[in-house]
Structure 1
Amino acid sequence: MSDKAASLKDVAGAAGVSVTTVSRLLNGSLALPEETRRRIEDAIRDLNYQPNPHARRLSRGRSDTIGLVVPDIANPFFAAFVAAVEEEADSRGLAVSLFATLNRTGREVAYLEMIGRKHVDGLIFVTNHPDDGQLAALINAAGRVVVTDEDVPGADAPKLFCDNDQGGYLAGRHLADHGHSRVLFVGCVEDMISGRRRFDGLRRALCEFWQADIVPASYRGSYTIAFGREAARRFIAEGMPATAIFATSDEITIGMMEVFRAEGVSVPGDVSLVGFDDVAPFHLFATPVTAVRQPVSAIGRRSLGLLVETDWQKLAAPAPQELMPVELVVRESVAPPAKR
């Protein structure tokens, strides 16, 4: 024997069958008589043939690899989400190709186009900015895409979100129960479903509790620490016009708490605060922060489940949308309104 690795053709020759017969036996698509199957297995053993797993996957028309597109893997929320998807994929014998877009449309477009080139079997797609229609068109053309966490309006794909409206309601009800009617909403732009639904839930809770038409003030920006700092400075400069704040992401909450601490604003002595996500270690803060908790790990696992379990041939419009439950984790950042 030479040092050259045995090929599929070598196995077929030794077993006295065709290359196609060996290939179909290896990929599980052909049942053979016991004597024929034994000849092939003996040839594989004697020749020390090592099947090429990539070639076998291609022969079945799939890669057994899932694409996972997220805005930012440095963000603790997305890091936890990625870990959950990886764990679920591993339990199903699948590989995950991870792509971080930096929340840039151009990179999102490039990764969506991969599914058309068969580099992955499907995509779990997460964006964190409004879409002008370009992403929706690509998702509809690609098929086999699950949209998670933030909506892409117009995309006819299975979608999975946390119950943002209920999260806003839980925050608003908790603040109202402590006597707050002047609540500042700090979140993303209204074009994004998460911000719109969280605001609507907050408003619904305040109106229901106070039996009045209350429209909370709002600062709109991005889910970043930088925007949280900017919002806190604006809040102070405007004379602290609310007695409580609903900060709708971990990053916004962290940025606001940094500025409040530096400027001597007490939470909850001067202003109460409720956060959202609860992936950050809010229980370790000098004032432990009450927050609405997203089930980020469950969202990651279910996203993978939706992708592999959906019957894409029978998927009818409109595609299904699922909501994952949220919960309020009460700590020490809410108190009755300060007397100013």
Structure 2
Amino acid sequence: MANLQDVARAANVSKTTVSRYLNGSLELPARTAEAIDTAIRTLNYSPNPHARRLSLGRSDTIALVVPDIATPFFATFVAAVEAEADARGLSLALHATLNRPDRELKYLDHIRQGHADGLIFITNHAGSRALAEKVNSGGPCVVVDEDIAEARVPKLFCDNAEGGRLAGRRLARAGHRHVLFIGGVDQMISGARRYAGFLEGMREIAGPDVRIERSCGPYTFEAGRAAAQAFVARGPDRPTAIFATSDELTIGLYEVLREAGLSIPRDVSVVGFDDVGPLHLFAPAVTAVRQPVRDLGRRALELLLAPPPVDPERLPPEELLPVTLIERESVAPPVGQTRRNTNSED
């Protein structure tokens, strides 16, 4: 098999000249370039892609760090980044951390040793100073979905506050004044912003006398089941509507409510969040705030590959992608109110 030295000898030029010509860093006279091209064809030479990437100082690989790949949200996000990377001729190195801080730090060390040209990073817990320092330690990076407060890199989120407002307005317009908010914690922007937006949306329509209870916790099936079991065990003073702030929470919630014989939306109305899983196939189909997860994946890679800022000391602004309320069949007025109140602004 011919190598770079064979091509150089056949074209009567140096090995360095051939290497620079192939990686595009050297412009040659037409006669010399033709001699190299002829030697390549004659010898059936195929450049070593690994060596070429080393000579260019890049790997053509993007690292993607996510908490897991089992949930619909993260699986869809990974697929979107992979598709966009493939369209740009890039490879993707996927790392699933199981949402463990020690694994996050380990993968960041590995990536920063030169195994990737850039990093798209998602955590699903409150960030730490140690994590921010690793993210800031060098190389292009974009933080997506959940914030790392001290990370000085571009950040891309869905508009969590607006998603909360959309859900709050919908339930308030249906006549609900006592509701349960499930999921998230204030230490994470998704939970804090969704709750703040939800409170704002409810009060915008219903005024200040709404009663909002909150069940904090992770966005998991188990947390959805636990919140639903506590809801079922209550007496007649329980909320008339529930805002479950992830697909997994909604699925766990539906499972327990069905087992308890409670009817949605007759006994309790439900609004979900994410709408990446098959919520439209539920009985009844779930009204939900939809996150544009595929757009999130595509835009994350665009931001990562964008030119660096002119002023590296200036903190990049966060970017928000819009969300949408998808109306289905899981919301109705509370028992005792007529359906004419569904679209009321009062």
Of the candidates 182, 185, 189, which is equivalent to residue 181 of structure 2?
185
CA distance in 2, matches of 1:161, 1:218: 23
Deviation of residue 203 (structure 1)? 0.3
Of the candidates 311, 320, 323, which is equivalent to residue 320 of structure 2?
323
Of the candidates 149, 153, 168, which is equivalent to residue 157 of structure 1?
153
Which residue does the alignment assign to 1:24?
20
Match of 1:188, SS state, is coil
Structure 1 residue 308 and structure 2 residue 305: aligned?
A: yes
Which residue does the alignment assign to 1:335?
332
Partner amino acid, structure 2, of 1:141: S
Q: Identity of counterpart residues, as a percentage?
A: 59
Deviation of residue 313 (structure 1)? 6.5
Of the candidates 58, 65, 82, which is equivalent to residue 54 of structure 2?
58
Structure 1 residue 250 and structure 2 residue 261: aligned?
A: no
Partner amino acid, structure 1, of 2:77: F
Deviation of residue 315 (structure 1)? 3.7
Deviation of residue 316 (structure 1)? 3.9
CA distance in 2, matches of 1:161, 1:173: 22
Match of 1:156, SS state, is coil
CA distance in 2, matches of 1:323, 1:213: 31
Which residue does the alignment assign to 1:275?
272
Which residue does the alignment assign to 2:166?
170
TM value normalised by structure 2: 0.94
- C-alpha contact (below 8 Å) 1:113/1:142 kept by paired residues: no
Deviations 1:57-116 (A, max 9, x none): 111111010001111111111111111111111111111111111111111112212332
Which residue does the alignment assign to 1:208?
204
Which residue does the alignment assign to 1:265?
262
Structure 1 residue 145 and structure 2 residue 141: aligned?
A: yes
Partner amino acid, structure 2, of 1:67: A
Structure 1 residue 219 and structure 2 residue 215: aligned?
A: yes
Deviation of residue 213 (structure 1)? 5.5
TM value normalised by structure 1: 0.96
Which residue does the alignment assign to 2:132?
136
Structure 1 residue 291 and structure 2 residue 288: aligned?
A: yes
CA distance in 1, matches of 2:27, 2:36: 12
Aligned length: 336
- C-alpha contact (below 8 Å) 1:144/1:312 kept by paired residues: no
CA distance in 2, matches of 1:156, 1:238: 46
Partner amino acid, structure 2, of 1:219: S
Deviations 1:219-240 (A, max 9, x none): 0110100110011001112336
Q: Which runs of 5+ in 1 are unaligned?
A: none
Partner amino acid, structure 1, of 2:221: I
Q: Which runs of 5+ in 2 are unaligned?
A: 338-346
Which residue does the alignment assign to 1:70?
66
Match of 1:216, SS state, is strand
Deviation of residue 156 (structure 1)? 0.7
Partner amino acid, structure 1, of 2:155: K
